[in-house]
A and B are shown apart, each in its own frame.
Chain A
Amino acid sequence: MEVKKICVLGAGVMGHGIAQVCAQAGHEVSLRDIKNEFVEAGIARIKTFLEGSVERKKMTREEANTILQHIRGTTDLRQAAEDADLVIEAIIEDINIKKQVFKELDGICRRDTIFASNTSAQSITEMAMATNRPEKFIGMHWFNPPQLMQGIEVVVHERISKDTLETIVDLCKKLGKIPGICKDSTGFIVNRLLQIWYNEGLNMYDEGISEPQDIDTAYKVGCGFRMGPFELRDMVGLDTGLAITETHYREFMRDQFKPPRCLVMKVKAGELGRKSGRGFYVYEPKS
């Protein structure tokens, strides 16, 4: 099936970027959020991004205007989704709210509309089974910022149809993205491997083997990673990171994913990384 019209649910960090990428590839896009101010903020962010692209001569003013004309913002779910070929959900990471929205979409969308979720933490299978179209349900996990990050994890499950998978893989390529297919499982590919990458570094610190700065340097100079595990924890936020690690530990019940003591203690102490001025490193306030 060919995807023409795309509905993106959620105009936040991920949703607005996804909508922009789809519109840039020539799709008609409806961008829906629950409040008008959220919709407007999302569209304003797209405008800012496009302005920057025009200034840097990455695109012409006309191209930027055409992209914006392809995006229609709304708070009305029916209006946003009724004629969509694909709905991409990028709302809050709450399985019950997500399931509720997909149930509503069942009653709004055509029978052949594909439902995709951008979740990084919830079960694709569980969401698929909450709809009347599990064969047309798929995971489409984008990375932040969607406009710049090339990879998309395409998440499949037992009940998906071959046609749905092919349609979404083709779409990713048409959007200029690189798809990687993965079965539904906590953390998919990237987050799961990142947990190991983080935990080994943090555990070495807990075990008294080395210090954050030495471990970060070893990762960067010895292996070629752009950042070390302590730097990246501080950048992402220790509370956010701990929640993801806990999810992996809970789901897999394997010691590899056990939250390192130093991470747990830092979060308890309110040292959450760059955003709080102190995490594994100390950050000077910007003057």
Chain B
Amino acid sequence: MGIKTVTIIGRNSLSQAVQQVLTAGHFKVITSDLEQDYTAGAAESEVVLEFLPEDFELKSKVLRNCAAKCSEETILATTTANPWVTRLATKIENPDRFIGLNFVKNPVQEKLLVQIVKGLQTSPRTVENCAQWLEKTGVTPVKLEESPGFIIDRVMAAIVNEAALMYSTKLATIEDIDKMVKVCANWPLGPFEFADTMGIDNVVKVLDSLYEQFGPKYQPCLLLRKMVDAGWLGKKTGRGFYTYS
């Protein structure tokens, strides 16, 4: 299938990065927001990407509206970081063309990863079409079945949780734990630096969803919960494991 035109609904720093990459890859990008008639652009596109706030009802309403105006061949995609792909698919017609495309910015380099998330209803053809298209854009695609935290958030949350436990039990300091994994294992950032970048509230949210599915090994460390209660959410609030000016 030939993908030439892509509609992006909603605007944030990630949608802008994706828009830039697509434009550079000679794809036509139509951007719109909820103030406009976003379905008009969607009707002319082969792919519709929603970058709306993480609100299930809002996303399902917008996607349903797009599905009603698009051809049944049009790929409809959510960029959600939540495991909502299968559930969102139930809200639209022809759910086999619905998919998750979760874009992730590399924390240390100018690189974009996209996690192609297959919901239960997503057809293999939709997955392959997305993978082939994204490979042409300079974004690196990886494929996975829908699961809490996908790949990136799951591994990072698990590492942060273990590191928080090590610090809470006074095994080592925050600084020494971060320093050692960087110099001894060549990690780009230490677990606490990752945590402050990801947001402590997000870490706990991901752990809670993993806990619900996979059991107690993902139970968030008490310290992480207290940090959320205290509003120490990381870089975005000026204080997390480190303080930021």
For B145-183 the 0/1 string (1 means CB < 8 A from A) is: 101000110111011001100100011110011011101
A-B contact count (CB 8 A): 132
Q: A196-B162, A197-B155, A214-B142 are in contact. Are A189 and B171 (CB under 8 A)?
A: yes
For A111-152 the 0/1 string (1 means CB < 8 A from B) is: 000000000000000000000000000000001000001110
The one of A204, A217, A223 that contacts B156, using a Cβ cutoff of 8 Å: A223
Most chain B Cβ neighbours within 10 Å, of A180, A182, A190, A196:
A180
Q: Shortest CB–CB separation between residue A213 and chain B, in angstroms?
A: 8
Chain B residue contacts of A192, Cβ below 8 A: 162, 166
Chain A residue contacts of B187, Cβ below 8 A: 225
Q: Within the assembled complex, what's the spacing in Å between the Cα atoms of A183 and B168?
A: 13
Q: Say yes or no: B142 contacts A185, CB within 8 Å.
A: no
Q: Within the assembled complex, what's the spacing in Å between the Cα atoms of A185 and B171?
A: 8
Instruction: Check if A194 is an interface residue, CB within 8 A of chain B.
Output: yes
Smallest CB gap from B151: residue in A:
A218
Q: A143-B184, A190-B184 are in contact. Are A183 and B171 (CB under 8 A)?
A: yes
Q: Shortest CB–CB separation between residue B83 and chain A, in angstroms?
A: 11
Q: Within the assembled complex, what's the spacing in Å between the Cα atoms of A217 and B104?
A: 12
Instruction: Check if B68 is an interface residue, CB within 8 A of chain A.
Output: no
Chain B residue contacts of A193, Cβ below 8 A: 159, 162-163, 166, 177, 181, 185, 191
Smallest CB gap from B170: residue in A:
A183
Smallest CB gap from B163: residue in A:
A193
Chain A residue contacts of B11, Cβ below 8 A: none
The one of A151, A189, A201, A221 that contacts B155, using a Cβ cutoff of 8 Å: A201
Q: Shortest CB–CB separation between residue A232 and chain B, in angstroms?
A: 9
Q: Say yes or no: B184 contacts A149, CB within 8 Å.
A: yes
Interface of B is mostly: mixed
Q: Say yes or no: B106 contacts A222, CB within 8 Å.
A: yes
Q: Say yes or no: B115 contacts A224, CB within 8 Å.
A: no
Instruction: Check if A49 is an interface residue, CB within 8 A of chain B.
Output: no
Q: A178-B179, A196-B158 are in contact. Are A190 and B185 (CB under 8 A)?
A: yes
Instruction: Check if A286 is an interface residue, CB within 8 A of chain B.
Output: no
Chain B residue contacts of A211, Cβ below 8 A: 143
Q: Shortest CB–CB separation between residue B191 and chain A, in angstroms?
A: 7
Q: Shortest CB–CB separation between residue B125 and chain A, in angstroms?
A: 18
Instruction: Check if A69 is an interface residue, CB within 8 A of chain B.
Output: no
Q: Within the assembled complex, what's the spacing in Å between the Cα atoms of A223 and B162?
A: 17
Interface size on A, residues (CB 8 A): 40
Q: How large is the interface on B (under 10, 10 to 19, 20 to 34, 35 or more residues)?
A: 35 or more
Q: Within the assembled complex, what's the spacing in Å between the Cα atoms of A214 and B113?
A: 11
Q: Say yes or no: B171 contacts A190, CB within 8 Å.
A: no
Chain B residue contacts of A254, Cβ below 8 A: 217
Q: Say yes or no: A189 contacts B180, CB within 8 Å.
A: yes
Q: Within the assembled complex, what's the spacing in Å between the Cα atoms of A183 and B180?
A: 14
Instruction: Check if A83 is an interface residue, CB within 8 A of chain B.
Output: no
Q: A178-B179, A183-B172, A214-B142 are in contact. Are A224 and B189 (CB under 8 A)?
A: yes
The one of A190, A201, A208, A222 that contacts B104, using a Cβ cutoff of 8 Å: A222
Q: Say yes or no: B176 contacts A223, CB within 8 Å.
A: no
Q: Within the assembled complex, what's the spacing in Å between the Cα atoms of A214 and B177?
A: 28
Q: Shortest CB–CB separation between residue B127 and chain A, in angstroms?
A: 12
Instruction: Check if A200 is an interface residue, CB within 8 A of chain B.
Output: yes
Q: Say yes or no: A149 contacts B171, CB within 8 Å.
A: no
Smallest CB gap from B155: residue in A:
A200
Instruction: Check if A158 is an interface residue, CB within 8 A of chain B.
Output: no
Known: A181-B176, A189-B171. 19 other contacts (CB 8 A): A149-B183, A182-B172, A183-B170, A183-B171, A183-B172, A189-B177, A190-B180, A193-B162, A193-B191, A196-B158, A196-B159, A200-B155, A207-B147, A210-B143, A217-B113, A218-B115, A225-B186, A225-B187, A226-B186
Can you give 29 contacting A-B residue pairs, CB < 8 Å?
A151-B180, A153-B180, A180-B177, A180-B180, A180-B184, A181-B173, A182-B172, A182-B176, A183-B170, A185-B171, A189-B176, A189-B177, A193-B177, A193-B181, A194-B185, A196-B158, A197-B159, A200-B158, A204-B151, A209-B151, A210-B144, A214-B151, A217-B113, A221-B106, A222-B113, A223-B188, A224-B109, A225-B188, A256-B162
Q: Which 9 A-B pairs have the closest CB atoms?
A: A224-B188, A151-B183, A151-B184, A214-B142, A180-B180, A210-B144, A222-B113, A180-B176, A255-B217
